Structure 1
């Protein structure tokens, strides 16, 4: 049996995971652009300003669907390891996949427990 106190804890946990899974806020989306600018400055080579802008827009479009809590760390790591701009986004996404799966699994488990608690 799920006690009222435990149910309250589950509701709080569900809310926390929902916040973690949320796409970036406007402020976080601005931070994403800053971090992508830092990355392309390191790996951009001889790109023209137009090419840099195109890369930043494409990278932001791909990454802004993921939670900032995951992409911030993945971007920082990729910025240190990736040598070519074409490898940057796939490297970030690869780093995000497992933590994202875990968060989704946790959310599903909590949702099932909440459903059970409702009878």
Structure 2
């Protein structure tokens, strides 16, 4: 679910990634500091959320280019959209996955502004 929270899969009984056929379904990731705290800087939080997603992709042998669908859940949407778009562009490069952005009242981790989930093509 984000950096610094390796035990969350066990504690909350979910998987960071599940394979179904030729696709990987990745659970939502949030942007946290290495110590598990929420960054005060919005762009840092967004960048860390995409970094966490990239970490899960890499564990499955995938890259950001393999993402076919991206779903993002935003607190205060669309207030911080320019900052989010910079982080999203940095993550995906030239790739253009399908994308749905959803505004929400809150996320499970207090203080987080975005949770990002994805579907990716399996490489093998």
Asked if Structure 1 and Structure 2 have the same fold, meaning a TM-score greater than 0.5 normalized by the shorter chain, the answer is no
RCO greater where, 1 or 2, for CA within 8 Å and sep 6 or more? Answer: 1
Larger radius of gyration: 1
Greater percentage in strand: 2
Greater percentage in helix: 1
